[in-house]
């Protein structure tokens, strides 16, 4: 249990950390079934009708089949756990056969009460209240600005914040010290060619960042939703990516990246990640992924890097055509994918394992 929920070790000194367990020889791998069983037992212990547990999982559109199977296991437990579960996903990023819909069907067939709620953007009144509160002005004074913002953002809260920041950066929204309030010219804002595409707003802002920060954002965008501190450390040891640590600190202070307590980093919003990925020209993306994977592979070769091997294999596999051009690379990359495939099998991620093993066999 301490391997899954790391903070649980504070409950008792008898719990050992994952690293200590491995050093003691108890580092056996846990598969999805044992994870689901362990979490179910834990939920029975810590929850009750008087003290239910609430679990919130965001961005389920990025979850794989295995993670959602584990989720179904402990949500459908009928042996005494008492839980309120909230899962969110973006309906414009899931297709009809996505695993999240299978989860919903399985929960219904297991007689777990479920409700589906669709969230839309802020309406005009709520948006006006939000802007009024941000600018410390009466709602009636902000109404003209709110109408323009609504037209540009359709009420998406994140888009609203980014759009208002862009107005301020261009001095279209500024504080007047004589009037002691924020002022704007609605006609000028409407006449200006300001994009209503938040990706373009973010990309424009990122293009003005230093090379170190842009490199860090590109690298993290390639890795996906989350990057571990250890991976940053491996990259710092290389020549090509030695400056990513400085870039990371600046990206955190600028509000693009969030530092988590468990030693990981992630983008503050998936649109920020998308804008960061757009910093890489589409024609260069395979090469960028491949080069990133090759550097990590060379730095980590011969080391016990745990599941970072999956990350390395994924990056290199983006540029499979570059591997085939060099016969000397085929064997070591095939071995890398074999190792990644076996690791994925050990954690019951069979679809992922199949992808790695397929690449290995093709080399």
Tokens for 158, please give them: 């994140």
Place of tokens 């296991």: 73
The pLDDT score that the predictor gives to residue 37 is 82
Q: Is the pLDDT confidence value at 273 over 50? A: yes
Rounded mean pLDDT, 43-47? 83
What distance in Å separates the CA atoms of residue 123 and residue 339, rounded to the nearest whole number? Answer: 51
Residue 344: C-alpha distances to residues 6, 47, 253, 271, 339 (Å): 21, 32, 35, 29, 9
What distance in Å separates the CA atoms of residue 255 and residue 268, rounded to the nearest whole number? Answer: 7
Q: What is the pLDDT of residues 24-42, one digit of tens each?
A: 444 444 567 777 788 888 8
Residue 127 burial by Cβ neighbours in a 10 Å radius (0-12, 13-18, 19+): buried
Q: What is the pLDDT of residues 57-111, one digit of tens each?
A: 888 888 878 888 888 888 888 777 788 899 998 887 788 788 888 899 999 888 8
Residue 220 burial by Cβ neighbours in a 10 Å radius (0-12, 13-18, 19+): buried
Rounded mean pLDDT, 230-253? 91
Lowest-confidence region among 105-109, 118-122, 190-194, 344-348: 190-194
Q: Is the pLDDT confidence value at 21 over 70? A: no
Tokens for 70, please give them: 């584990």
Angle at 20 between CA 15 and CA 24, to 5 degrees: 105
Q: What is the DSSP letter of 15?
A: -
The pLDDT score that the predictor gives to residue 9 is 62
Q: What is the pLDDT of residues 192-224, one digit of tens each?
A: 665 556 777 888 889 889 999 999 999 999 998
Tell me the CA end-to-end span of the chain in Å, nearest whole number: 39
Which residues make beta-bridge pairs with 175?
A: 182
């Amino acid at each position: 249990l301490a391997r899954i929920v790391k903070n649980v070790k504070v409950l008792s000194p008898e719990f050992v950390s994952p690293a200590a367990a491995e050093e003691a020889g108890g580092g056996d791998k846990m598969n999805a079934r044992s994870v689901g069983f362990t979490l179910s037992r834990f939920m029975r212990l810590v929850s009750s009708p008087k003290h239910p547990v609430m679990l919130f999982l965001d961005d389920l559109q990025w979850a794989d089949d295995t993670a959602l199977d584990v989720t179904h296991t402990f949500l459908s437990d009928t042996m005494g756990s008492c839980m309120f579960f909230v899962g969110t996903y973006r309906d414009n990023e899931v297709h009809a056969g996505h695993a999240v819909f299978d989860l919903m069907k399985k929960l219904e067939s297991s007689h777990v009460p479920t409700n589906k709620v669709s969230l839309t953007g802020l309406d005009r009144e709520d948006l006006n209240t939000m802007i009024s509160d941000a600018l410390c002005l009466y709602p009636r004074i902000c109404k003209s600005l709110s109408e323009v913002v609504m037209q540009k953002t359709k009420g998406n809260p994140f888009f609203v914040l980014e759009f208002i920041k862009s107005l301020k950066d261009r001095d279209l929204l500024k504080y007047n010290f004589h009037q002691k309030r924020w002022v704007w010219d609605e006609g000028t804002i409407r006449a200006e060619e300001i994009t209503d595409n938040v990706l373009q707003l973010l990309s424009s802002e990122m293009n003005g960042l230093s090379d170190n920060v842009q490199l860090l954002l590109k690298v993290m965008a390639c890795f996906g939703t989350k990057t571990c501190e250890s991976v940053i450390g491996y990259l710092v040891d290389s020549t090509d990516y030695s400056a990513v640590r400085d870039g990371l600190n600046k990206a955190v202070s600028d509000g693009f990246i969030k530092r988590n307590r468990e030693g990981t980093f992630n983008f503050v919003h998936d649109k920020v990640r998308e804008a960061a990925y757009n910093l890489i020209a589409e024609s260069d993306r395979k090469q960028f992924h491949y080069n990133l994977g090759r550097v990590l592979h060379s730095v980590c070769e011969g080391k016990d890097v745990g599941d970072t091997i999956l990350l390395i294999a994924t990056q290199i596999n983006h540029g499979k055509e570059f591997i085939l051009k060099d016969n000397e690379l085929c064997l070591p990359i095939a071995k890398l994918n074999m190792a990644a495939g076996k690791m994925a099998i050990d954690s019951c991620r069979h679809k992922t394992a199949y992808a790695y093993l397929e690449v290995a066999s093709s080399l």
